[in-house]
Amino acid sequence: MRMLWAIVRKDFLQLRRDPAALFFTLGWPLIVAIAFGLIFGGGGDTAKPKVAIVDLDGSAVSRSFVRSVDALAELDVDVQSLAPARDAVRRGQRVAPIVLPAGWGGARGVGFSPGAMPVKLLVDPSRKAEQAMLQGLLVQAAMQDLMSSQQDPATRKMLVERAKADVAGLPPQSRAQFEAFFDSLDRVLATPELRSTPGGDGSGGAMDISPLRVETESVQAARRGPANPHAVTFPQGMFWAVLGVLMSFATSLATERTEGTWLRLRTAPVRGWHLLAGKGLACGLAMLLALNVLAVIGAVVFRIRPDWLLLELAFLAGATCFTGMMMVFAMLARSVRAASGIAWAALMPLAMLGGAMIPLFAMPGWMQAASNASPVKWLLLAIEGAVWRGFTLAEMLPALGILVAVGAMLIGWVAWRREHAHD
């Protein structure tokens, strides 16, 4: 029994003497718990989904609905024309444009039929999780707008009269039944309970009517034909391929140090910086190989149609950035456990903050702003821009520039550190 506890004590002492392993055992879980608490708990309100509303009708009825949507506390609404709104979604700056087609105000006259008020929702295919919420909020705005209009006797009378006109072509017996129904409906809508604003004591919502039909369309589908869900998911897989290569090379260099391979290489007539540069070049080429294999599989098997030139630029910029990170991790670590701990401790927050683990829209507003500091966000945006967002080279340049700048800065720091190192 004493021997057993001696072994346990030895292992705990080893853990205590390895700061990276100790951090990853105790400190990292604490950081994860705090981070998830900030995202889903008390770290501030989740940022409002940013949407654009496009009024192609321009009638008094459509303007009233636009005001109702703009008044929703759950949305950040911007009134735009169709082309800029669609472009903002393609760039990832808006979740969706809400389009009120021409003639929409006239169709709204039959406000008690869901099919009478088609509203088109052009959604970002990578933001499908918000689609149902947007549809519910639009129906809520339409109901509030309809109930508001019913408080005006003249508007209420116009709605019922127009509904009567729509059934004028029915057989006399059926028409008489509908007209009697509309007369009764007019009297019901005039009651104080239904004239009250919804959300008070609940009596204002007694009628279960849906005054809106929402038609959804993918921005990708509108631009390139049938939407391909793999085009949306493959950029995520490509990031994890980059991460896998980075971890493999960072730990392999630590293994070479532990097993003496690095020392034997240092005795050769080769400068230390050349050794590290060779390791970095191998890492970058391995990343490019993994990324291109995934891209070819996506194109051949899943019919993804990227802009190959822009995609290769995104791959080169991403490989530059994350190769620089690998070189930093490899230089700082002195053991395999330390290399693994440092790399995971640094990359998991960046992946979480950059949208590779948690959708950006689920984060509080301040975390969405902080996500700009994560290279993961810019790598995903660059790949998405080439795969399905349809970026031009000018639109791609900011993401490419950030990735290359981060990589060059890290590689430069490693070179400077290597020149001043004595081991």
- Indicate the average pLDDT of the chain: 76
Helix, strand and coil in the chain, % to nearest 5: 70, 5, 20
Query: Which of these three, 224, 242, 270, is where a domain ends?
Result: 224
User: What size, in residues, is the chain?
Assistant: 423
Nearest-angstrom CA–CA distance, 414 and 409: 9
How many CB atoms lie under 10 A from the CB of residue 75? 21
Residue 170: pLDDT over 60: yes
Domain boundary, last residue among 224, 244, 273 = 224
β-strand pairing of 76-79 with 50-55:
parallel
Residue type present at position 319: A
Q: What is the largest CA-CA distance in the chain?
A: 103
State which residues form the domain around 215. Answer: 50-224
The last residue of one of the domains, among 197, 224, 251, is 224
Which position has the token pair 């999780």?
129
Name which residue leads in pLDDT, 318 or 90. 318
User: Which amino acid, one-letter code, is at 220?
Assistant: Q
In a domain, 368, yes or no: yes
Does a structural domain hold residue 35?
no
Q: What's the confidence (pLDDT) of residue 18?
A: 63
Same domain, 77 and 157: yes
Give yes or no for a contact between 376 and 57, defined as CB atoms under 8 angstroms apart.
Answer: no
11 in any annotated domain: no
One DSSP character per residue, 135-162 reads HHHHHHHHHHHHHHHHTSHHHHHHHHHH
pLDDT band at 289 (very low <50, low <70, confident <90, very high): very high
Per-residue pLDDT band at 115 (split at 50, 70, 90): very low
pLDDT, tens only, 346-363: 888 899 889 888 777 667
Q: Is 30 contained in some domain?
A: no
Among 280, 275, 271, smallest CA distance to 411 is for 280
Both 210 and 260 in one domain: the answer is no
- The two tokens of residue 32 are 């994860």
Top-confidence range, 199-203, 282-286, 348-352: 282-286
Do residue 129 and residue 215 come from a single domain? yes
Amino acid at 80: Q
- Which is more confident, 316 or 112? 316
Q: Closest by alpha carbon to 323, among 374, 285, 351?
A: 285
Q: Is 89 in the same domain as 212?
A: yes
The half-sphere exposure of 168 on its side-chain side, counting CA atoms within 13 A, is 7
How far, CA to CA in Å, does 399 sit from each of 90, 285, 405?
15, 20, 10
Same-domain check for residues 199 and 332: no
Q: In this structure, is residue 170 part of a structural domain?
A: yes
CB 75 within 8 A of CB 69: yes
Cβ(139)–Cβ(114) below 8 Å: no
Instruction: Return the SS3 of 113.
Output: coil
The 10 Å Cβ neighbour count of residue 11 is 10
Asked if residue 353 is part of any domain, the answer here is yes
Same domain, 122 and 264: no
350/213 same-domain check? no
How much is the pLDDT for 233?
Answer: 81
Question: Is a pLDDT exceeding 60 seen at residue 343?
Answer: yes
Asked whether residue 327 carries a pLDDT value surpassing 80, the answer given is: yes
Q: Any idea what the Cα angle at residue 102 is, between residues 101 and 107, rounded to 5°?
A: 85
Q: Are 232 and 218 contained in the same domain?
A: no
* 381 and 232 Cβ atoms separated by less than 8 Å: no
Domain count, the chain: 2
Which segment of 10-24, 62-76, 114-128 scores lowest on mean pLDDT? 10-24
The first and second tokens of residue 238, run together, are 């490509």
At 261, the pLDDT band (50, 70, 90 cuts) reads: low
pLDDT given at position 202 = 43
Do 232 and 138 lie in a common domain?
Answer: no
> Do 104 and 249 fall within a single domain?
no
Give me the CATH number covering residue 200.
Answer: 3.40.1710
- Domain presence at residue 364: yes
Q: Indicate if 125 and 232 belong to the same structural domain.
A: no
User: Band of the pLDDT at 380, cuts 50, 70, 90?
Assistant: very high
**How do residues 117-162 score in pLDDT, each as one tens digit?**
578 888 777 676 677 778 888 888 877 776 666 556 666 666 667 6
Distance CA 250, CA 248 (A): 6
Q: Which of 116, 126, 57, 60 is nearest to 90 (CA)?
A: 126
CA dihedral 247, 410, 373, 307 (to 10 degrees): -70
pLDDT-based confidence at residue 216 (cuts at 50, 70, 90): confident
Pair 243, 203 in one domain: no
Which range has highest mean pLDDT (86-90, 122-126, 274-278)?
A: 86-90
Q: Report if residue 17 sits inside a domain.
A: no
- Distance between CA atoms of residues 419 and 401, nearest Å: 27
Q: Strands 118-123 and 76-79: what pairing? A: unpaired
